[in-house]
Amino acid sequence: MEKLFHLSTTNKQLGLFNEDWEEIQNFVSKHQMDGIEVGLTMDYDLNRIPKEIVKGVHLSFYPMWLDFWRGNEEKLRELFPSKEERIAYYKGEQPEDLIASYKLQYERAKALEAEYMVFHVSHILPEDSFTYTFDYSNQEVMEATIELVNKAFPKEADGPLLLFENLWWPGLNYKDPELTKWFIEQIEYPNKGYLVDVSHLILTNNQIGTEKDAYMYIKKTIEALGPTRKWIKGVHLNKALPKRYMSRDNRYLLKRYQEAPDNRQKQTILKKHIHALDGHIPFDHPLAKKIIEVLNPQYCVYETAPSTRYELAYFIKKQNEALDG
């Protein structure tokens, strides 16, 4: 198993290393990691990135994409009052622009000689994250994802592994073994598999309040997949213990979100809410080792949210101790 950490090419994350890739390489070596999974922004110059440390590429995710894909103009006008807002979000005007985007991202991943790519299988509207009332079922989101992926990625390729990641919103969540088996079988790209985000899986059960609860739930859910678990190739390792926060009545937060005077304040409320659920904190408990044994991945990615380079080093140290102990 290869140990990696996630690093995005955003100014905020590269700023942890003074936007210096030599410093990043030295950090990888110093902390005995095998490389990085890079969250690759579309306009970032690939020539700046040393290929030898890149193992994976995280592809773009548009949380509110299904109505755009289906051409639901009424819903889109509700979500985006102006044409300019819609284009800014989707980087295009037509569903075909999503296909073109993923085709380009596939080529960029190949150019970096990445071993795998990560694709989120989910759809969520901001208000639904407070109410848990959704427009689409898991299967509907998965069906649309199959359509998109089969149009965007080649059917015959020796390209990177295409790994599908779970969320706790409608889409892939690993809770339905038959649906999980059906989905991967419908993907025509041959070099494919699953990636399990540990926190995202935990967040599908609002009663989890301890690491032991988390381990027992993950073990039960993954074992229920039966032979389909062979498709698990990657893991995002981090921790969520949602019982306390998810037991709260968040109607007041929804009201604040709805009454916020501008989009900036709406986004602040939404981000704080999502962070309270999925804080990307390190899984620093010894049971992390047992979780990884259950999942048996080829790649284990430390996906945390440090505010400094030193905090990232600390997070890596804590997860290494948990896995090696």
CATH value at residue 261:
3.20.20.150
pLDDT value at position 249?
Answer: 87
pLDDT value at position 26?
Answer: 97
pLDDT value at position 251?
Answer: 87
pLDDT value at position 157?
Answer: 81
Instruction: State the residue for tokens 């998810």.
Output: 246
The 10s digit of each residue's pLDDT in 58-94 is 999 999 999 999 999 999 999 998 989 999 999 999 9
Residue 271 structure tokens: 């981000």
User: How many domains is the chain built from?
Assistant: 1
pLDDT value at position 118?
Answer: 98
Helix (H/G/I), strand (E/B), else coil: 253: helix
Those residues of the chain that have pLDDT short of 50 are: none
Could you tell me if 144 and 66 are in contact, meaning their C-beta atoms sit under 8 angstroms apart?
Answer: yes
pTM: 0.97
Helix (H/G/I), strand (E/B), else coil: 161: strand
Cα 161 from chain centre:
15
Could you give the CA distance from residue 304 to residue 323 in angstroms, rounded to a whole number? 15
Give the torsion sign (CA, 180, 181, 185, 186).
negative
Domain of 139 in residue numbering reads as 2-324
pLDDT value at position 158?
Answer: 85
Could you give the CA distance from residue 12 to residue 314 in angstroms, rounded to a whole number? 18
Nearest-Å Rg of the Cα atoms of the chain is 19
